Amino acid sequence: MDYFHVTLSEREVASHSILALAHLGDSVYELMVRTRLLINADLTNRTMHNETLNYVNASAQFEAYQKIKDILTPFEADIFRRGRNARVKTVPRNADRAKYHTATGVEALFGALWLSGNHERLNQLFEIIVDP
């Protein structure tokens, strides 16, 4: 099995737990952030870690959603909505509950796109998110 080139149908993706998609999407999103930082800047490990935290947190992912919400396909909007509405057991103390739920939706979206093999769309959304 080639875990870097998985291609599931939208139906197969939607059949998975939304929190499982968010779990995967959290890693996909962070990997994209770390890769971008590595390619675009010569940073120390500590600086790279701190810069990563600027992108991979509930507030930043809430802002990311604001940038992409109007261009989501119906499938993407549905995955996001399911992720945002998922019942999470805990919310970190330093996170606003609404922003945390939105971040979970973004992570679910990235997990779903990864599993569907839609890397072009992942890159398109990510570029919009990180574009100043």
Cα dihedral sign, 51-55-112-97: positive
The dotted CATH code for 10-130 is 1.10.1520.10
Over the stretch 15-35, which tens digit does the pLDDT of each residue have?
Answer: 999 999 999 999 999 999 999
Most confident residue range from 52-56, 73-77, 84-88:
73-77
Domain ranges of the chain: 10-130
Q: How confident is the model at residue 43 (pLDDT cuts 50, 70, 90)?
A: confident
Report whether pLDDT(63) > 90.
yes
Average pLDDT over the chain reads 93
- Residue 30, C-beta contacts closer than 8 angstroms, at least 6 positions apart: 52, 56
3-state secondary structure at position 77: helix
Q: What is the CA radius of gyration of the chain?
A: 14
How many Å apart are CA 104 and CA 130, to the nearest integer?
18
| Residues with catalytic function | 26
